Amino acid sequence: MYEGFDIWSFLVGLPLGLTIWAVMYYFVWKKGKKERIFDERYQNIHRHARSISWKVMTGALLIAWIIVMIVEGPRLAFFIITALWIIHMISWGIGAFIVNEKY
């Protein structure tokens, strides 16, 4: 399996990826702005999509957690998933608290 990490290849790939992504993003955004794509219906769809994605992630994390516990025990992968779970939940709690205060 892949063991080494070639930092130089990574440093070449990174700016390339970022540039391509930024250029594509800019053109989509410019065209969208012209056609008023980012209106309230778009935001609604976005919100729904994010909500589904977040819920699937919550389920996936739980399943991954159990698998890691059985396969590898308390090593790096387990702590990473635990940390991720905590961030996932705490950020949700903080978000809910802030928005609840504002509305």
Q: Which residues bind other proteins (CB under 8 A)?
A: 1-5, 7, 35-37, 39-42, 44-54, 56-57, 60-61, 64, 66, 68-77, 80-81, 83-84, 87-89, 91-96, 98-100, 103
- Minimum distance from CB of 58 to other proteins (Å)? 9
For residues 48 and 57, the answer to whether their CB atoms sit within 8 Å is no
Reference 54, options 90, 92, 20; nearest CA is 92
Q: Which is nearer to other proteins, 30 or 41 (CB)?
A: 41
Give helix then strand counts, H and E, for the chain.
3, 0
Six token digits for residue 71: 């396969």
Q: Which is nearer to other proteins, 16 or 95 (CB)?
A: 95
- Minimum distance from CB of 23 to other proteins (Å)? 19
- Minimum distance from CB of 65 to other proteins (Å)? 9
φ, ψ (nearest 5 deg) of residue 52: -65, -45
Q: Which is nearer to other proteins, 20 or 37 (CB)?
A: 37
Q: Could you list the beta-strand ranges (E) of the chain.
A: none
Q: Which amino acid is at 90?
A: I
- Minimum distance from CB of 26 to other proteins (Å)? 19
Six token digits for residue 94: 């903080």
